Amino acid sequence: MGIGNSALRAVKSSGALPGFDYKATANGHEGLFKAVVNEHVLTSGYQKEELLYSTTGSWITSVPEDAEVLASFSNADDFYISGWWPGHKGAKGQTLAFTKNFEDSTITLFANDLAFRAHTQYSYRLIANSIYASVGTEVIKKGKGKIKGKEIKAQNNKEEKSFFEKGRDRD
């Protein structure tokens, strides 16, 4: 998962995702804007139309083939609500976030910074959903693996109900 202008620049520079491109005014340009959120496991808990916040002055202009667009800046003339973002009109209707299978993993990029101080609390769910969805089941499937030189044995990787699924006061 990559968030913000620095992540977009790094991925673009790497050339790892042909077809990906982005634009930015300047890091620190910020604002509240109308967004269109597509239905996906990574956007669970959000409505189709949301107000989101950015501090990066960035937007995604093209996504790789087979990528799934998670959210976009609204195409409405009044998409920009408030803030200080000279040049924000360039973001109108552009992609805000996408995800794509890449080799044996998934890459998810967000043009906005989802963890900037407490400004973006409403976006924290996007981070949590992305982390949760990124947890692979390869070790569970194979029953073995290594973490920092320690062997993982099948008995350590049993799938069980979580604390929240069990409930604190129930069996």
Give the helix ranges, DSSP H, for the chain: 4-14, 124-134, 138-142, 163-166
**pLDDT at site 72:** 98
pTM assigned to the model: 0.78
- Of the ranges 34-48, 56-70, 114-128, which one carries the lowest mean pLDDT score? 114-128
Q: Are residues 28 and 89 located together in one domain of the fold?
A: yes
Indicate whether 15 and 79 sit together in one domain: yes
* Confidence label for 134 from pLDDT (cuts 50, 70 and 90): confident
Q: Check if the beta carbon of residue 152 is closer than 8 Å to that of residue 146.
A: yes
In the chain, what percentage of residues exceed pLDDT 70? Answer: 78
Q: Are residues 9 and 90 in the same domain?
A: yes
- Are 162 and 102 within one domain? no
**What's the average model confidence in pLDDT over 84-92?**
97
Of 102, 5, 20, 15, nearest to 63 by C-alpha is 20
Confidence at residue 144, expressed as pLDDT on a 0 to 100 scale: 46
The pLDDT of residue 161 is 58
Residue 90 CA to residue 87 CA, distance in Å, equals 6
Report pLDDT for 167. 55
Q: Cα 162 vs. chain centroid, distance in angstroms? A: 24
Per the structure, the count of domains in the chain is: 2
Residues 65 and 141 in one domain: no
Which residue, 96, 95, 82, is CA-closest to 29? 82
Both 12 and 84 in a single domain?
Answer: yes
- Coil vs helix vs strand at 90: helix
Per residue in 146-171, pLDDT (tens digit) is 445 555 454 434 555 554 555 555 44
85 and 59 inside one domain: yes
Up-side HSE of residue 111: CA atoms within 13 Å toward CB? 32
Q: Is 41 helix (H, G, I), strand (E, B) or coil?
A: helix
* Structure confidence at residue 140 (pLDDT): 45
| 65 and 106 fall within a common domain | yes
Q: What is the CATH number of the domain that holds 72?
A: 3.40.50.880
86 has pLDDT over 90: yes
What is the span of the domain harbouring residue 92?
2-135
Q: Identify the pLDDT of residue 143.
A: 45
**Do 142 and 85 share a structural domain?**
no
Residues 6+ positions from 36 with CB-CB distance below 8 Å = 48, 49, 71, 72, 73, 74, 75
Q: What percent of the chain has pLDDT over 90?
A: 62
Confidence at residue 68, expressed as pLDDT on a 0 to 100 scale = 97
Listed residue (30, 33, 10, 35) closest to 20, CA to CA: 10
Provide the pLDDT for residue 154.
46
